[in-house]
Amino acid sequence: MDGKFVAEYAVAVTQACSTCKHRSKTVPGICIAFPDGIPFEILSGKSDHSTPVNGDHGIRYEAVMPKLDDRCGEHFTYRRFIECGETQAKTGLPNLPKEADSYKALHELATNVLDLVVDKFGPIELTYGFSSPELIKAIPERIAPKLDQHASHERNRIGNFICERLGAACDFIVQGKNMREVAEWVYKNTEVDRVYFYGSETPIHVSFSNKRAHQFVEMLVGKSGRRTPRVVRVD
* 138-171 pLDDT tens trace: 998 889 999 999 999 999 999 999 999 999 999 9
* 19-33 pLDDT tens trace: 788 988 888 889 999
Domains of the chain, CATH where assigned = 1-64 (no CATH), 78-234 (3.30.1380.10)
Mean pLDDT along residues 175-201: 97
82 vs 13, 87, 130, 158, CA distance in Å? 22, 12, 5, 23
Q: Give the model's pLDDT for residue 9.
A: 45
Confidence class for position 48, pLDDT limits 50, 70, 90: confident
Q: Give the model's pLDDT for residue 15.
A: 56
Q: Give the model's pLDDT for residue 6.
A: 43
User: From CA 228, how far away is CA 220, in angstroms rounded?
Assistant: 5
Q: Hey, which residues does 215 pair with through a beta bridge?
A: 194, 234
* 56-93 pLDDT tens trace: 999 998 878 899 999 999 999 999 999 999 999 999 99
The mean pLDDT of the chain is 90
Give the 3-state secondary structure of 82-114.
HCCCHHHHHHCCCCCCCCHHHHHHHHHHHHHHH
Residue 193, pLDDT > 60, answer yes
User: From CA 131, how far away is CA 81, in angstroms rounded?
Assistant: 9
Model pTM? Answer: 0.81
30: DSSP letter: -
